[in-house]
Amino acid sequence: MTTPTSTLTGERADLLEALGQQRWFLRHTVRDLTDEQAALRTTASELCLGGLIKHVALIERGWARFAVGGAEAMVRRDEDEPVNWEDHFRMVEGETLAGLLDAYEQVARETDELVATLDLDLSHPLPAEPWFEPGKIWSVRRVIAHLIAETSQHAGHADILRESLDGSKSMG
């Protein structure tokens, strides 16, 4: 089956390939885990593997909203998004690893569609938050580069958590 993203070439294809590779590394860290294992904290932090999957999906959704509609769109919340920021990083009652992976896959498809169709030069001012430079503007291209970096960083976190859990490594 041909999808809009499967026929891409050039910069868009490169961006999606890089993002897809980092998503794969992140998902690979949770292979063969039970829900209980995915919910375990294996380090001093609040992070668990299922929580990282959820967090990356929620953050990617927010940045996709930003790419389309700017800072105001980024802060909009869906009913399925945790109100408590700490719940971004852990599995809460009723969540399953399979459900979190399905939600992440849906977010990834939506983001990929945006990369395939949006003007990569479309730009918006960043939200007024202390961690962003005041007055800074990001293009869709910059947002995708940020998602690649953020997903990569969290894939590294997940690798540490998984190795702490049962000694499994994503690579090596």
In CATH, which of 2.60.40.10, 1.20.120.450, 3.30.70.360, 3.30.70.141 is domain 30-166?
1.20.120.450
> pTM, whole model, 2 decimals?
0.90
Q: How far is CA 53 from CA 46, 49, 90, 131, in A?
A: 14, 6, 9, 23
What pLDDT does residue 118 have? Answer: 96
Q: What is the DSSP letter of 25?
A: H
Q: For each of the chain's 172 residues, which pLDDT tens digit applies?
A: 445 566 788 999 999 999 999 999 999 999 999 999 999 999 988 889 999 999 999 999 999 999 999 999 987 666 555 567 778 889 999 999 999 999 999 999 999 999 999 999 999 999 999 999 999 999 999 999 999 999 999 999 999 999 999 999 887 6
What pLDDT does residue 91 have? Answer: 95
Domain boundaries, the chain: 30-166
Per DSSP, the residues of 54-83 read HHHHHHHHHHHHHHHH-HHHHT---TTS-S
Q: Please name the residue ranges forming H helices in the chain.
A: 10-28, 35-39, 49-69, 71-74, 97-117, 140-166
What pLDDT does residue 172 have? Answer: 64
Q: How far is CA 88 from CA 58, 95, 117, 140, 166, in A?
A: 8, 12, 29, 24, 23
d(CA 98, CA 5): 25
Q: Identify any residues that bridge with 112 across adjacent strands, giving them in sequence order.
A: none
d(CA 136, CA 157): 28
